[in-house]
Structure 1
Amino acid sequence: MDVQRLLRGTVEWDRLEAVARHLAARYGDGEAHVEFIDADNWLSTPFLLHTGGEEFFVKVVSRQNSLVHALFTAGRNIGAFSSGTEGFFGHFGTPAEMVRHELEATERMRAIGVNAPEPVEALEVDGLGVLVVEYLPAFRPLDELDVALERELAPDLFRALRRLHDEGLAHGDLRAENVLILDGDLYFIDATSVREPGVLDAREYDLACGLAALEPLIGAADAVAAALTVYDAEDVLGAREYLDFVAIRPDHDFDAPGLKGEIEKRVAERSEATERANGERREP
């Protein structure tokens, strides 16, 4: 966490205060209460804004956040190259561009029926990028549920991811912290930038991230089984190639060798079952 705070940096209080005043004037009566959120977030300073009887979730992106995003993007693309594919992550040069992209990504997810907080606005205040979205009250991140519920929701995660992929989209930063649960429904947040030419590889990367997020929660066997209820064996094998790449990220902690072994075992079992079935159909 100390490294994370060092990289994220600290936005001066008077600048955050200016953002809160600006938003209170836009959405409320000029009065505001700010509640800072201790979120696992490397690329922004998040807070909850109470104004005019409403609540908004706000992310403030600084120039330092933008520079860290550039470093992460370069590292991810190097990892993609090491996996034998072109780099497929894009970087946006300014804090304002970063928040505008996230707003657009959230709008696109909602347009195809994937749950995400309702977007309100992306704007620039005092050189800071500011994203304002609906606040989801009483939500819980996926990794704060009991194991039985995490196991029950695992196929829903892959179904939502598959819907993105079937529409030619990709999340790009799927982690347990970016999957919120509210009233039994699953919501995606913090979608990142994926360049169009590499979108097929990005989908395999997304799938690898989903498996990596679930493995510490429900185990490799159940994570792979959940993925195979939605994705073909070929897709899951493709995701296997990205697991070492995902494992070097500081925000994923999972058993990569165990997960790769479970994928190989499950895919082999499925292949053998298919061959047996085909053989039985060919018999007179």
Structure 2
Amino acid sequence: MAVRRFVRGRIEWPRLEAVCREFAARYGESAVRVTFLDGDNWLSTPCVIDERWFVKIITPQNALVHALFTAGRNLGVFSSGREGFFERFEGPLAMAEHELDATRRIRAVGVNAPEPIEAFAHEELGVVVLEYLPDFRTLAALSPAEIRTFAPALFASLARMHDAGFGHGDLRAENVLVADDELYFIDATSVRADAIADARSYDLACALAALEPAIGARAAVDAANEQYAIEELLAAREFVGFVGMRPDHDFDAAVLRGEIEKRAA
């Protein structure tokens, strides 16, 4: 229980009020209406302001937890026989600035993401402000039939990011949103530029893992194969075991690996 409290990183109410007052001043508002969102809050405290802005407040504790997660992920990558490619941040503001920049990069190549507004520091906290999408569902909340419909668009968007020379780094069903029948990508993490090929293979493995429980390994690989060559699927196969060890992915790694191998044969 103590570990869970540490990981969640709750912010005291006076500090949250101070951030909201700073936000109101920056946007010329005399007052703002804030709704805090439920969640584990491992890496930020998320909230919605005036039903217009999605805001994440990041503490030094959140930055420390991110660094610990990053170290664990890199150890997992080592288990796949590759050098770790996840990068840590220097502090809360760096985390906020990265999310803003990553969102801009995603949108710049024609992939949907919430509009990035700004990132700023308030005392020791980092704050990132994005467009709020009021009516959305995560990919995880869709029915299998809906997921099957969106699978080609998922891999087309991912391939567009990869063709532009960068990776997402934290692709899972909760980080893909559906709004107005369009996919939106959020929460990209930082990966080393000199290891981008491995990061892209990892992204592809994560996407396959996100789809396999809902539509099956064959349909997931079919959709991926429309955008990615067999050689790229085989490279992704090397990360399937690592993805399977992550607690935020629940899929049949052996079946998925076997389907990729059958496709290659």
The TM-score with structure 2 as length reference comes to 0.95
Do residues 138 (structure 1) and 128 (structure 2) align? no
CA RMSD of aligned residues (A): 1.6
CA shift, 1:2, in A, is: 9.6
Instruction: Give how far 1:123 is off.
Output: 0.6
Q: Could you tell me whether the CA contact under 8 Å between 2:106 and 2:113 is conserved in 1?
A: yes
Query: 1:24 is matched with which residue?
Result: 24
Closer, same or farther: CA 55–2 of 1 in aligned 2, 3 Å:
farther
Mapped pair 1:221 → 2:218: yes
1:172–1:192: 8 Å Cα contact kept in structure 2? yes
Equivalent position to 1:164, from 157, 161, 168? 161
Show the 5 A alignment for 1:119-268. 119-268=116-265
Give, in angstroms, the shift of residue 4 of structure 1.
5.6
Contact 2:171 2:206 in 1 (8 A): yes
Partners of 2:39 and 2:107 lie apart in 1 by 23
2:49 match: secondary structure: strand
Aligned equivalents of 1:144, 1:72: Cα separation in 2? 25
Where does structure 1 lack aligned partners over 5 or more consecutive residues? 269-284
| Rg larger in structure | 1
Q: String of CA shifts for 1:244-271, please: whole Å, max 9, x gaps.
A: 1111222111111111112112222xxx
How far, CA to CA, are the matches of 2:40 and 2:249 in structure 1?
A: 12
> What amino acid is the match of 2:77?
A
Moved over 3 A (4+): 1-6
Distance 1:152 1:5 in 2: 39
Percent sequence identity over aligned pairs: 62
Q: Secondary structure at the match of 1:11?
A: coil
Q: What are the ranges of 5 or more consecutive residues in structure 2 without an aligned counterpart?
A: none
* 1:146-166 residue CA offsets vs partner (Å, 9 max, x unmatched): 211110101111110000000
Residue aligning to 1:70: 67
TM-score between the two structures when normalised by the length of structure 1: 0.89
Q: Check conservation: 1:40, 1:177, Cα contact below 8 A.
A: no
Measured at CA, do residues 207 and 35 of structure 1 come closer, stay the same or move farther in structure 2, by a change above 3 Å? same
